[in-house]
A and B are shown apart, each in its own frame.
Chain A
Amino acid sequence: MIPAQFDYVRPDSLDQAFRELASDEDTKVLAGGQSLLPLLRLRLAYPSKLVDVARLPELAGAHDRGDHVFVGAMTTHDEVMRSPVVREGCPLVALATATVADPAVRHRGTFGGSLAHADPAGDLPAVVLALDGVFVARSAGGEREIPAARFFVDYLESALLPGEILTGVKIPKLGDGWGFHYEKFHRTAQAWPIVGVAVAVRRTNGAIQEARIGLANMAPTPLRARAAESALQGAELGDQVRQACGEAAEGTAPPADLHAQPDYRRHLARVLTHRAVRTAAGAP
C-alpha cells in the first residue's frame, strides 16, 4: 500500500521540533518508523506532517548516570543491545531488545519510539515497567518525569501530551544480587510475542526476596504481575515458586486474536513466568 500525502521535516534541534509540532495538530513524531510507517501505508493513519526526530543528538545514546542508566529515546535497538552501559547497568533491557523482530528492524527501530507507541504487545514496555523506569518528556514548556506505572494509559496510548517528545528513559540500576530474564513466546522469530514475561528477581539463601514481573500482551497495556510478585516474596525454588507463579495471570485482561485466545494466554503467562523466574533466579 501507499501512504496518503504528508509533509516531512527533519528539525536540527528539539526546540525546532517543538515549533514544528505546534504548527499543526495533525503532526506526528517520526522515530524509526517501524510502527508508524506501516500504519501510514495501510492508510490507518493520516498525519499532515511527520517530524523526524531520529537524528536529534539530544536523544541519542545510552549514558551511565550513577544510580541509573539514561537511554536516549532515539537510540536504536541495535545500539541498545550492544551498549556496554546498558548491558551492565540494566541487562534485562539488553536481553529483551535482542529479541525484537529482526536485525533490519533493530537497526531502524528505536527504544523511545517503541515505548511511546505503547503497544502492549511490544517487548520493551513490559521490561521498562518491570524495572520501574522513569520516562522523561520535554515540551516547549519544559521537562517532566513520568513513572512507568503511569506512562501506559491504554491500548496504543501513552501519557505523553500533544507537543511533548519523549527524550529518554531513566532505568534504575538494581545493584547486586539481582537476576534477570525475558521469556518471549512467539510463533516465528520475527513475530510479536503472544505473551512476553520480563522478570527481575533478588535471591538470597535459596529463596526469592523480591520479584518484579512485567507482562507483555496480557491486557490493553503492559502489566505488572503484582499478585505473583508478592506471592514470590520469600518463596523457595521448587513448589513454592511454582505455586506463586500460578498467580501470574491475576488481574490480566488478555486479548483474543489470530494467534491466541485469552485462556491460552493466561495459561502461558503462568508457565512462562515460572520459567522466567527460575532462569532469573539461576535455577539449574
Chain B
Amino acid sequence: MTEVGRARRRKEDARLLTGRTQWTDNLRPPGTLHVAFLRSPMAHARITRVDVSGARGMTGVVAAFCGQDLAAEQGSLPCAWPVTEDIVIPDHPPMAVSEVRYVGEAVACVVATDRYLAADALEAIEVDYEPLPAVVGLEEALAPDSPKVHESGNQAYTMKVTSGDVDAAFRDAPIVIERTYHQQRLIPAAMEPRAVLASTDGDSYTVWTATQIPHVLRVMLALTTGIPEHKIRVIAPDVGGGFGSKLQVTAEEVLCLLLTRRLGRPVKWNESRSEGNLTVHHGRGQVQRVKLAADADGRIRGLRVELLADMGAYLMLLTPGVPLLGASMFNAIYKMDAYEFGCTGVFTTKMPTDAYRGAGRPEATFGIERIMDELAAELKADPLEVRRRNWIRHEEFPYTTISGLTYDSGNYEAATDKAMALFGYDKLRAEQADRRDRGDPVQLGIGVSTYTEMCGLAPSRLLKEARYAAGGWEHGAVRMLPTGKVEVITGTSPHGQGHVTAWSQIAADALGVPFDDITVIHGDTAIAHKGMDTYGSRSLVIGGVAVLQACEKVREKARKLAAHVLECAPDDLEFAGGAFTVRGTDARATIQELAFAAFTAHDLPDGVEARLDSEATYDPDNYSFPHGTHLCAVEVDTETGLTRIRSYVAVDDVGKVVNPLIVEGQVHGGIAQGIGQALFEEAVYDADGNLLTSTLADYLLPSAADLPDFVTDRTETPATGNPLGAKGVGEAGCIASTPAVVNAVVDALRPYGVHDVAMPCTPERVWRALEGARS
C-alpha cells in the first residue's frame, strides 16, 4: 500500500497536544526585555503631544518611545498588492506619529524587564489627542461630504472588468433579481495569539514570530527597515493557527526588530486576546450588490456584481487584493453569457482588513449561492434543480468560464448526487412541507451550496497579471543522510496543517523509504532557505509537488550510483520498494544503502557528486479548483428566532487525497468557521469607531457544543494541473458552509415572506425579520 492515501496520524500531534513544543511565547533567551504598546482609544485623532517621560523612571523600565522617536527608522508597513495603476497606498507607520486612524493603533511603547512592569508603565504615558471624525460605514465614507480618513480621500481604488455583452444579457431578460448582501467583518481569533521575539548579536538579527510567512516576512523586514536581508533570520516556530491573520507584516514585528537594534537585548511581545481582537487584521467587510438576469426557464444570462470593500484605515500586505480574489468566482460553477465585476476599496477608521480563510472566495461564493436560491424561489423550483440547469457539465471540462479561468476538472453531478443521498434530501423536503402545512412553530429549512473555488495560490505568471508583487512558486529540498534517513526541507510554513506528516507520506512513496525514516524541516529562513510560505490552500498543490519533484531528482541521482555499484546501465534498473534491481536478476541496492555510498564517496562514478540530495522549485500553470456540494438542514424556532443546525452534509472534491484524516480535519474546521460567520460572529464598531466586540464574551465563536456532527464524504476527480492530482482543502469548508447555512435559515422563513436575514443570523435578527414580515 502506498503512503499517499493513508489516514496517518500526524507526527506533530503528540508534541502539539501535550504542549511540549516551541511556541514563540515559550522562548526565553537570557536578558529578554518585554515590550507593551500603548494603543489609541480614539478611532481618528491628531496626536498633539506624547510624553513618555513618566514611564521612563518607573521600576524595571528600560526604555519608552513614541512614534516620533522611531519616525526616522520605522519606515512604512508594506502593501504588496497595488491592484490598480492609480491605487492610493497611504503611508503606514508601524507606530503612529501625528495621526491615529483606528482604535488600537500603537502610539507609544514601554520596554521593561518583565511583561507586568511594562504594562503598568503604559499608564504613566501621557497622550493628547485632538479628535477627528470617525468614518465607519462604507456608503457614508464615499459620500462627497464625508470626513476623510486620508488626505487623498476615502477611495483606495476602483476597478471594473467585463466579459461578454452585459447590457444585452439584462435587456428584456424575463427574470432580473437584485440583492444587496453584507459581509460582516470577522475576527480571525487563531488559538495562539500573536507573539514576537527579536534578538541581535550586534550585527545580525533573529526574529521568532507566530507567522505563516517567515520567508516573505524576511524580505519585507529588510525592505521596510533597511537592515540587509542577509543579516535577518526569521523563524516561525510552532504556530498555533493563522487563518490568514498571520499572513501579514505587522507593526509589532517591525517594532520589536527596531527595539532590539536600539537596545541590544532580546525584545519580546505577547499579544493578549482583547489586544488581538482590536489589532489583528480583520476579515471580510463588504457590501455586495449582486444582480442576476435569467431566462424564464432559469438559465442564467448575465451577472453584475458591484462591491464596496472595507479596507480599514490602511492597506496592509494584501488588503486591496483580497476582494479581487473573488472577481473570478462570482460566476462560480455556472455558465452564463456575460459578467461584470466592479469593486471599490474604501478607507474607514477601523482596523485594516486582509486575508481571512478563503479570502475573497467565501464572499463571492456567498453572493452567488444566495442569489441562486433567490432565483429558485422566483421560479418556484428546487434550488438544486436550478443549479443543475446552469452548472458546467462533467463532460464539458476543461472549461473556460465567463471570467476567463479554465477549470481543469470537476464533477458537480457526482458530488451533488452523493450529498443528496447522504442528506436524505427528499425525505427532509417532505418533512419540511409537513411542518409548513401544520404551521409548526419550529420550521425546517434546507440550504444548498454547490461551490467551487480557485486555490493553490498561485501561478506566478497569473499573479503578474493580477499586479501582485511576488511570485507563487514553492520550493522543496530532500537530502538523504548517511544512514539512509531523509530530511525534507520545505518552503511552506505549517501552522497546524500537518505538513510534516503529509510531506513524509509523499517522500516515503517517491523514495521508497519508511514513513518514520523521514523528517520535515520548515519555518526557519536559515535552514529552509527558500519559500513562499503557507496560505491560499497552496501548500500541498505547490509545495507538496516541489517535494515530490525533489524526491524524483534524488531517485535519478541514486539510479546513476546504483548502476555504477551494480555494474549495469541505468536503464537496466527497476526501482520499486526503495530498491534498484537489475532487471531479470536479483542484484539490488536500496536507496538507503546508496546514501551511505554517496557519503563515503569511496567509489563514485566520474562526474557524480558526493551527495544524494536535490531540490526543486515548482510553479504551476493554473490554479486548482476544488468543488463540492454542502447541504444543511436547520430548525428555526419562529417564536424565539433561534436557529439550530440539525444536520450537515459535505461532499467535497479536493482531487487526490494524501491523508484523509488531515482532509477530514480541514473540512470540519472549515465548516465550523463558516458556520461562525453565518450564525455567530461579527466585529461590531459603534458610530464613533469603537470596537464593541473586543473580548470573546462579546465576539461569539462557536464551540463543539454549538455544532452538529458533520457528515462528510468525498468524490475524487483528480486535478490535471499538477502531478499529485491534488486541489487543496484548507479553505473549502469555510467557503462552502456560510451560504449553505444562511440559505437554510432563509428557506425556513420563506413561507412567512422573508427572503433575507443579515449575517450573523442571530435569534434577534431572525425574530425581527419575522416580525417585519408579519406586520
Residues in A lying within 8 Å of B, measured CB to CB: 1-2, 4-5, 38, 41-42, 102, 185, 187-192, 194, 258-261, 264, 267-268, 271-272
Contact = CB atoms under 8 A, between A and B. Distances in A.
B606 to A, nearest CB: 66
Given A2-B119, A271-B639, A264 B768 contact: yes
Contact of A188 (B123, B692, B703): B703
Contact of B272 (A1, A187, A271, A272): A1
Sort chain B's interface into a size bin. Answer: 20 to 34
Given A188-B680, A189-B705, A5 B764 contact: no
A271 B703 contact: no
A189 B679 CA distance: 13
Interface string B339-376: 00000000000000000000000000000000000000
Nearest to B698: A258
B269 to A, nearest CB: 12
Given A185-B640, A188-B680, A191-B700, A264 B706 contact: no
A1 B767 contact: no
Contacts of B697: 38, 191-192
A189 B767 contact: no
B668 interface: no
Contacts of B115: 2
B498 to A, nearest CB: 27
A233 B706 CA distance: 37
Contacts of A271: 639-640
B700 A188 contact: yes
Given A5-B116, A258-B693, A268-B640, A188 B272 contact: no
B274 interface: yes
Interface string B259-290: 00000000000001011000000000000000
A187 B699 CA distance: 11
Contacts of A102: 703, 705
B134 interface: no
Interface string B738-775: 00000000000000000000000011100110000000
23 contacts: A1-B274, A1-B275, A2-B272, A4-B120, A5-B116, A42-B274, A42-B695, A102-B705, A187-B762, A188-B701, A188-B702, A190-B703, A190-B705, A194-B763, A258-B684, A258-B692, A258-B693, A259-B762, A259-B764, A261-B764, A264-B764, A268-B640, A271-B640
Given A259-B762, A264-B767, A5 B120 contact: yes
B108 interface: no
Interface in B103-122: 115-116, 119-120
A131 to B, nearest CB: 25
Nearest to A270: B639
Contacts of B695: 38, 42
B680 A2 contact: no
A191 B695 CA distance: 12
Given A187-B762, A192-B697, A271-B639, A1 B119 contact: yes
Contacts of B701: 188
B20 to A, nearest CB: 21
A99 to B, nearest CB: 11
A84 to B, nearest CB: 26
Which 8 interchain pairs have the tightest Cβ spacing?
A: A189-B705, A2-B119, A1-B272, A264-B764, A188-B706, A271-B639, A188-B700, A260-B764
Contacts of B684: 258
A185 B642 contact: yes
A187 B700 contact: yes
Contacts of A38: 695, 697
A260 B642 CA distance: 13
Contacts of A192: 697
Nearest to B762: A187
| Chain A contact residues, majority secondary structure | loop
A189 B701 CA distance: 10
A114 to B, nearest CB: 15
Contacts of A258: 684, 692-693, 698
Contacts of A272: 640
Contacts of B36: 2
Interface of B: 36, 115-116, 119-120, 123, 272, 274-275, 639-640, 642, 680, 684, 692-693, 695, 697-698, 700-703, 705-706, 762-764, 767-768
Given A2-B272, A185-B642, A259-B762, 17 more contacts: A2-B115, A2-B116, A2-B119, A4-B119, A42-B274, A102-B703, A102-B705, A188-B702, A190-B705, A191-B700, A258-B692, A258-B693, A258-B698, A264-B764, A264-B768, A267-B767, A271-B640
Contacts of B768: 264
Nearest to A260: B764
B54 to A, nearest CB: 15
Contacts of A259: 762, 764
Contacts of B762: 187, 259
Nearest to B641: A264
A275 B6 CA distance: 50
Contacts of A267: 767
Contacts of B119: 1-2, 4
Contacts of B692: 258
Contacts of A5: 116, 120
B110 to A, nearest CB: 12
Contacts of B116: 2, 5
B692 to A, nearest CB: 6
Contacts of A1: 119, 272, 274-275
A77 B767 CA distance: 33
B260 to A, nearest CB: 21
A193 to B, nearest CB: 12
Contacts of A194: 763
A192 B680 CA distance: 14
A200 B642 CA distance: 25
A72 B399 CA distance: 71
Contacts of A268: 640
A166 to B, nearest CB: 24
Contacts of B700: 187-188, 191
Given A1-B119, A1-B274, A5-B116, A187 B680 contact: yes
A187 B703 contact: no
Nearest to A2: B119
A16 to B, nearest CB: 27
A187 B763 contact: yes
B272 A189 contact: no
A43 to B, nearest CB: 8
Contacts of A261: 764
A199 B285 CA distance: 43
B116 to A, nearest CB: 6
A189 B639 contact: no
Nearest to B639: A271
A264 B763 CA distance: 10
Contacts of A185: 640, 642, 763
Contacts of B123: 4
Nearest to B765: A264
A5 B120 CA distance: 8
Q: Which of A4, A187, A267, A271 has the most CB of B within 10 A?
A: A187
A271 B441 CA distance: 12
Contacts of A187: 680, 700, 762-763
Nearest to A265: B764
Q: Which of B684, B701, B763 has the most CB of A within 10 A?
A: B763
A38 B693 CA distance: 15
Q: Which of A5, A190, A272 has the most CB of B within 10 A?
A: A190
Contacts of B767: 264, 267
Contact of B706 (A4, A42, A189, A260): A189
B439 to A, nearest CB: 16
A197 B763 CA distance: 17
Nearest to A192: B697
A98 to B, nearest CB: 13
Nearest to B700: A188
A190 B701 CA distance: 9
A189 B702 CA distance: 8
